[in-house]
């Protein structure tokens, strides 16, 4: 949306460092690139609900501070034309628009109604004394919305005089818009000035609470870094390139304190000793300099220490007990009671690149470094503790430290946003919380934290300046609230450049008069925190729930008292807004669907809530808009998601009754099944079709049914005709020795899983010396106390099935040998034409191996030119017959090498399991086809000869016969006439001779073709 922002310091003699400095203004232009349908804006008004309405020759446009919405004949039924010019609002809030051609429409915020001009004179807002279009324009003027078109006039805004004419706008005599074809303008409810033009869109002029300062015409500066207040009247500023400034805070006059003949482009850092007001500066060439009598001299109290080449000072700090700390790239230097020394641990490890300092109530000192983490120094014995990312801090690059309480601090980091750290009494980190761009920060690169007297923290960053309520920030870190309130200052609010500067501890300061000064890429930014105390609090009206969308439909929510979705629709979107033109980026939208969501949620993008798979029910959609001070305003609308019949309470009750009935039925059914099971168990013991035995846990028989004894009782029989004494005998004696280990493993598994039934197949000896193949179900029979008592085995004899399986395997083996013996290529395919099997002859003739051809489409064997047609032909043959069939004619088959063979195709069908398969036998008839082609060609030649004989030869023969007849029947002809007849006879005879020669030649060609064919077949 942002085309360009012009920040105007309208009062050049104004001192920006004064608490009562006059404001600057931000001028912002909107064109078709921002959403306007045309750059030619006709009129503008503001409705009672806060929306701006703009007439263009492409429809009526609504603007809410975020996006333009165009209503025209395509999307707004009732609008009779898109070419709209005049606009006004009556006392009832109805918007009237008119075209240059007399079309008049009324808009109530949702729908358009067309009006005949003659009927408008009966309304109290109109009369018959003037054109309706002019009356509509004046209607807007009466409501204080639109200013007279193309006239010069003054307007008082915030105590300033704003002057308009047809080409320019000025405020207190300073031009803010020039050389434009202006059509008019007005002041909205928030005090913003709007100017609309003939061909350059429209302009917004709003007051900025941010002040920018980069010197005067005598001396301009840009990139600033260190800022320190030397005295109530003096501000020292250091930056690039080549300046160290002394700014008079009462007059804003700038003096450059040059280094060494104006060569101070190396200046890095400034510090003022609060005790003696000594000014220190560091460079890339020398450790530290002092300003004495406006001259820079090297600090001689550092001479006792040796420094590495190119050592620079990175920070300085003086404690309340007058201990001076100097951070550098060559360690942390301490100056106390005249002594100068470095802090080192027992291993000689130093604290390098210290740049942020904070004194703690226990007398220790926290030090943030550039890449080396955070240090806690005990000033009594100079021992220290180091914290790095492995210990919980978010980043090793610490740029500033702010204390919230005795045990809690906030770090401003170079690359990880804000980081809150909580210590225990022993100085160990017990909690760390990070706040980054995903939580709403403008940028993760922070420079400075400055606390104002009102409980707010001001943070400069690479993306602009942010203000946090310290109470809200800690509540957010404690998870006591999900809403982080951030007031954001960017170029939209008046910054000339969003990128702040830092890297040193004094990259920003709180002046004695309460103003905050931050450095950035184009100078200084000055903020008066008092002016931001109530920003946005009195400008928030009620949010507007705008549109409801589902599937391809989009409805205006304002036309309905509630949102009732169609039956079966569970996904929908709701868009909402709140007109705000002064600070649209400073308010936060959130929503909650009561009855479904327990917490407030932020829109993923824009101002739209997205709901998916919402259960049926009645809900309340609540929209909350929060200003930068935390003041919320709300809007709500009921939402009804209708249920299907099977989702209603009556359906659930019915299902409940059916469920209870089903439970009763199941109970009765299971009781009956248990009774029947007991009966079956009793009958099973005596069953003559199954073997039933029981053994104790040692494997000794306790029971065997008659069927078992009839078959295997011979193993235990002693007396002929007497009872079989099986009881107490171990069951292993009736099991083949190779199957006995399986039985032992099964019993062991049953003891581990007593409720399990395990199936075991085993061989048992028969009386004739052979073995019976049997299949048994093993299970545990429990004692009344619930412990395993016996093993029950129920078995069947499947010897006959085993024999059938063996015969089937032998049959399959014979079939395989039969197929392999076929002397021609053989292919088996399925109904989907996929190849299931090929024989060895196929591999030899066609060239594909089983691995290459199996499970591919049979059309792979057909030539590419006509594979589809031949596949359809083959498919028709497969479907046309269920019996063996020989396909008429030749089929061309493509080999792996790319050659082609002519084959006779024989096919047959058979069923394998549930699959229908087809056998294709490919008989190579390539030689036969070549001979057939030769015969066909000879036949054609003979037909040509016969044709010549019947047609061409007949003509000269007829001529000869005619001449002979003349000679015989007319002997009286003269000699000359007879000579002429003889010439004719000679010519005709010659013609007949040529015809006979031609016939002989064609006959010879046919014989040659046959010989060539024979030769090619032999060579092949």
Q: What is the arithmetic mean of pLDDT over 800-814? A: 81
Q: Is the pLDDT of residue 283 over 70?
A: yes
Cα–Cα distance between 392 and 433 in angstroms, integer? 9
Please check the confidence at residue 580 and state whether its pLDDT lies above 80. yes
Tokens of 671: 């009781």
From CA 582, how far away is CA 596, in angstroms rounded?
35
Measured CA to CA, the distance from residue 457 to residue 464 in angstroms comes to 14
User: Which has more confidence, 511 or 672?
Assistant: 511
Q: Quick: pLDDT tens for 456-492.
A: 999 999 999 999 999 999 999 999 988 899 999 999 8
Q: How confident is the model at residue 142, as a pLDDT?
A: 46
Pairing state between β 68-71 and 509-510: unpaired
Residue 681: pLDDT band (50, 70, 90) is low
Cα 406-409-413 angle, rounded to 5 deg? 165
* pLDDT value of position 875: 66
CA gap 87, 96 in Å, rounded: 5
Q: Hey, what are 775's tokens?
A: 């299949």
The residue behind tokens 């589902």 is 550
- The residues near 49 (Cβ < 8 Å, ≥ 6 apart) are 93, 109, 541, 544, 579
Q: State mean pLDDT over 316-329.
A: 89
Contact 698/800 with Cβ under 8 angstroms? Answer: no
* For range 296-318, the mean pLDDT: 84
Q: Which residue has the higher pLDDT, 821 or 149?
A: 821
Comparing 617 with 926, the larger pLDDT belongs to 617
Among residues of the chain, what percentage have pLDDT more than 70?
84
DSSP 341-380: EE-B-TT--B--SEEEEEE-TTS-EEEEEBSS-EEEE-TT
Res 37: pLDDT = 96
- Span 522-561, pLDDT tens digits: 999 999 999 988 775 556 788 999 999 988 888 888 888 8
User: Is the pLDDT reported for residue 844 higher than 50?
Assistant: yes
* More confident position, 195 or 269: 195
Res 497 pLDDT > 90: yes
Residues 6+ apart with CB under 8 A from 17: 213, 235, 247, 249, 250, 252, 511, 513, 515, 517, 526
Considering only residues 378 and 935, tell me which one the structure prediction assigns the higher pLDDT.
Answer: 378
> How far, in Å, CA of 442 to CA of 458, rounded?
13
What confidence tens digit (pLDDT) does each residue in 692-734 have?
Answer: 888 998 899 988 888 888 888 888 876 665 677 888 888 988 8
Cβ pair 514, 530 in contact under 8 A:
yes
Has residue 517 got a pLDDT over 70? yes
Q: Which residue has the higher pLDDT, 931 or 574?
A: 574
Q: Determine the Cα–Cα distance for residues 403 and 358; give it in Å rounded to an integer.
A: 8
Low-confidence winner among 6-15, 583-592, 844-853, 978-987 (lowest mean pLDDT):
6-15
Question: d(Cα 526, Cα 497) in Å, to the nearest integer?
Answer: 13
Residue-level pLDDT at 367: 96
pLDDT at 442: 94
Burial (CB count within 10 angstroms: exposed 0-12, middle 13-18, buried 19+), residue 214: middle
Q: State pTM to two decimals.
A: 0.63
pLDDT above 90: percentage of residues in the chain: 35
1016 confidence band (pLDDT: 50, 70, 90): very low
β-pairing, 563-564 vs 553-556, is unpaired
Q: Angle, to 10 degrees, between the axis of helix 975-1019 and the axis of helix 954-969?
A: 160
Residue 66 has pLDDT above 80, yes or no: yes
Sequence-separated (6 or more) residues with CB below 8 Å from residue 517: 17, 227, 235, 508, 509, 511, 524, 525, 526, 527
Pair of tokens at residue 114? 């067309």
C-alpha–C-alpha distance, residues 486 and 489, integer Å: 10
Residue of 858 and 470 predicted with greater confidence: 470
Spell out the residues 6+ positions from residue 132 whose beta carbon is closer than 8 angstroms to its own: 98, 102, 104, 117, 120, 126
Q: What is the pLDDT of residues 327-378, one digit of tens each?
A: 988 899 999 988 999 998 777 789 999 999 999 988 899 999 999 999 999 9
SS3 string of 491-526? HHHCCCCCCECCCCCCCCEECCCCCEEEEECCEEEE
Phi, psi of 989 (to 5 degrees): -65, -40
- In this prediction, residue 150 has a pLDDT band, given cuts at 50, 70 and 90, of very low
Confidence (pLDDT) at 1? 36
> Are 693 and 731 spatial neighbours (Cβ–Cβ below 8 Å)?
yes
Mean pLDDT lowest among 231-245, 279-293, 727-741, 938-952 = 938-952
* pLDDT given for residue 9 in this prediction: 44
Q: How confident is the model at residue 4 (pLDDT cuts 50, 70, 90)?
A: very low
Residue holding tokens 């075991």?
Answer: 760
pLDDT band at 572 (very low <50, low <70, confident <90, very high): very high
Alpha carbon distances (Å) from 320 to 302, 362, 510? 22, 13, 18
Q: Residue 507's pLDDT is what?
A: 92
Helices (H), 713-838: 740-752, 799-821
Burial grade of 110 (CB within 10 A; 0-12, 13-18, 19 or more):
exposed
Which of 151-160, 437-446, 469-478, 944-953 has the lowest average pLDDT? 151-160
pLDDT band with cut points at 50, 70 and 90 for residue 13 = very low
Confidence of residue 878 (pLDDT cuts 50, 70, 90): low
Tokens 């530290």 correspond to what residue?
Answer: 288
Lowest mean per-residue pLDDT among 51-55, 216-220, 385-389, 1005-1009: 1005-1009
Return the structure tokens found at 409: 């601090």
Residue 301: per-residue pLDDT: 86
Q: Which of 13-17, 223-227, 462-466, 940-944 has the lowest mean pLDDT?
A: 940-944
What is the chain's mean pLDDT, rounded? 83
Residue 871 has pLDDT above 70, yes or no: no
Per-residue confidence band for 129, with pLDDT thresholds at 50, 70 and 90: low
Q: Is 50 exceeded by the pLDDT of residue 263?
A: no
Residue 16 has pLDDT above 50, yes or no: yes
User: Has residue 264 got a pLDDT over 90?
Assistant: no
Which residues make beta-bridge pairs with 891? 903
Residue 762 has pLDDT above 50, yes or no: yes
Residue 184's pLDDT band (cuts 50, 70, 90): confident
Measured CA angle at 692 (ends 686, 693), to 5 deg? 120
Instruction: Please compute, for residue 738, the number of CA atoms within 13 A of its CA located in the half-sphere on the CB side.
Output: 6
pLDDT over threshold 90, residue 454: yes
User: Within 10 Å of residue 999's Cβ, how many Cβ atoms?
Assistant: 18
**β partners of residue 154:** 163
């Amino acid at each position: 949306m942002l085309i360009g922002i012009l920040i105007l310091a309208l009062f050049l003699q104004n001192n920006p460092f004064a608490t009562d400095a006059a404001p600057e203004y931000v001028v912002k232009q909107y064109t078709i690139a921002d959403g306007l349908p045309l750059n030619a804006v006709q009129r503008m008004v503001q409705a009672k609900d806060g929306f701006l309405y703009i007439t263009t020759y492409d429809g009526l446009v609504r603007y809410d501070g975020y996006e333009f919405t165009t209503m025209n004949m395509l999307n707004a039924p009732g609008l009779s034309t898109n070419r709209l010019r005049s606009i006004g609002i009556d006392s009832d809030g109805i918007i009237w628009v008119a075209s240059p051609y007399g079309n008049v429409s009324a808009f109530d915020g949702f729908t358009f109604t067309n009006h005949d001009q003659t009927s408008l004179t009966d309304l109290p807002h109109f009369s018959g004394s003037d054109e309706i279009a002019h009356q509509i324009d004046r209607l807007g003027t009466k409501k204080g919305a639109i200013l007279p078109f193309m006239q010069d006039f003054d307007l008082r805004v915030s105590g300033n005089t704003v002057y308009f004419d047809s080409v320019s706008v000025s405020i207190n005599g300073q031009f803010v818009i020039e050389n434009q074809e202006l059509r008019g303008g007005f002041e909205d409810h928030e005090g913003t000035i709007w100017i609309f033009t003939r061909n350059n869109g429209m302009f917004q002029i709003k007051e900025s609470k941010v002040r920018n300062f980069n010197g005067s015409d005598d001396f301009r500066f840009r990139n600033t870094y260190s800022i320190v207040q030397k005295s109530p009247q003096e501000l020292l500023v250091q930056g690039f390139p080549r300046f160290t400034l002394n700014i008079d805070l009462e007059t804003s006059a700038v003096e450059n304190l040059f280094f060494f003949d104006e060569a101070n482009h190396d200046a890095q850092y400034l510090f003022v000793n609060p005790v003696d007001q000594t000014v220190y500066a560091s460079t890339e060439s020398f450790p530290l300099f002092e300003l004495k009598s406006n001259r820079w001299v090297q600090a001689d109290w550092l001479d006792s220490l040796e420094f590495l080449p190119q050592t620079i000072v990175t920070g300085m700090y003086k404690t309340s007990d007058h201990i001076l700390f100097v951070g550098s790239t060559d360690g942390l230097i301490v100056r106390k009671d005249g002594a100068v020394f470095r802090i080192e641990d027992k291993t000689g490890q130093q604290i390098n690149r210290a740049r942020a300092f904070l004194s703690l109530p226990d007398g220790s000192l926290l030090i943030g470094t550039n890449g080396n983490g955070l240090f806690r120094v005990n000033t009594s014995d100079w021992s220290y503790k180091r914290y790095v990312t492995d210990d919980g801090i978010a980043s090793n690059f610490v740029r500033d430290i702010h204390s919230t309480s005795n045990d809690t601090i906030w770090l401003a980091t170079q690359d990880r946003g804000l980081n809150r750290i909580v210590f225990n009494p022993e100085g160990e980190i017990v909690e760390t919380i990070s706040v980054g761009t995903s939580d709403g920060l403008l940028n993760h690169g922070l420079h400075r934290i400055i606390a104002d007297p009102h409980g707010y923290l001001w943070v400069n960053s690479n993306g602009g300046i942010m203000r946090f309520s310290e109470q809200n920030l800690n509540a957010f870190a404690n998870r006591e609230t999900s809403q982080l309130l951030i007031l954001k200052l960017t170029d939209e609010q008046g910054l000339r450049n969003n990128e702040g500067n830092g890297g040193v501890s004094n990259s920003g300061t709180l002046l004695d008069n309460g103003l905050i000064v931050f450095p950035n890429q184009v100078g200084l930014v000055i903020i008066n925190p008092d002016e931001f105390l109530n920003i946005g609090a009195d400008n928030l009206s009620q949010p507007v729930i705008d549109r409801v969308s589902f599937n391809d439909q989009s409805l205006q929510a304002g036309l309905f008292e509630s949102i009732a979705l169609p039956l079966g629709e569970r996904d929908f979107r709701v868009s909402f807004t709140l007109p705000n033109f002064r600070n649209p980026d400073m308010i936060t939208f959130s929503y909650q669907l009561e009855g479904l969501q327990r917490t407030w949620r932020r829109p993923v993008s824009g101002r739209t809530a997205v709901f998916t798979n919402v259960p049926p029910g009645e809900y309340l959609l609540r929209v909350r808009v929060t200003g930068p001070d935390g003041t919320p305003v709300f809007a709500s609308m009921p939402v009804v998601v209708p249920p299907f019949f099977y989702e209603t309470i009556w359906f659930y009750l019915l299902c409940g009754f059916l469920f209870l009935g089903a439970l009763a039925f199941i109970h009765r059914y299971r009781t009956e099944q248990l009774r029947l099971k007991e009966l079956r168990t009793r009958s099973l013991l005596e069953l003559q079709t199954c073997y039933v035995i029981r053994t104790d846990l040692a494997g000794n028989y306790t029971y065997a049914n008659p069927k078992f004894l009839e078959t295997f009782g011979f193993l235990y029989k002693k007396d002929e005709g007497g009872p079989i004494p099986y009881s107490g005998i171990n069951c292993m004696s009736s099991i083949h020795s190779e199957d006995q280990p399986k039985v032992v493993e099964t019993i062991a598994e049953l003891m581990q899983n007593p409720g399990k039934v395990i199936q075991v197949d085993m061989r048992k000896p028969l009386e004739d010396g052979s073995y019976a193949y049997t299949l048994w179900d093993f299970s545990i029979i429990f004692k009344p106390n619930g412990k395993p008592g016996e093993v029950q085995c129920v078995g069947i004899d499947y010897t006959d099935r085993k024999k059938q399986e063996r015969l089937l395997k032998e049959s399959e083996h014979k079939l395989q040998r039969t197929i392999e013996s076929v002397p021609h290529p053989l292919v088996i395919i399925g109904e989907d034409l996929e190849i299931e099997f090929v024989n060895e002859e196929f591999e030899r003739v066609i060239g594909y191996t089983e691995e290459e051809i199996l499970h591919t489409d049979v059309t792979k064997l057909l030539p590419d030119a006509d594979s589809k047609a031949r596949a359809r032909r083959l498919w028709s043959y497969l479907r046309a017959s269920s019996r063996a069939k020989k396909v008429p004619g030749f089929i061309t088959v493509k080999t792996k090498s790319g050659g082609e063979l002519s084959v006779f195709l024989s096919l047959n069908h058979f069923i394998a399991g549930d699959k229908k398969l087809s056998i294709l036998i490919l008989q190579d008839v390539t030689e036969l086809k070549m001979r057939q082609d030769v015969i066909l060609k000879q036949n054609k030649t003979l037909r040509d000869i016969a044709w010549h004989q019947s047609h061409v030869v007949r003509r000269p023969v007829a001529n000869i016969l005619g001449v002979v007849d003349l000679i015989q029947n007319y002997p009286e002809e003269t000699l000359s006439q007879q000579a002429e007849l003889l010439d004719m006879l000679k010519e005709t005879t010659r013609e007949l001779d040529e015809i006979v020669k031609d016939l002989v030649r064609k006959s010879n060609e046919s014989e040659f073709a046959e010989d060539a064919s024979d030769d090619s077949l032999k060579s092949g």
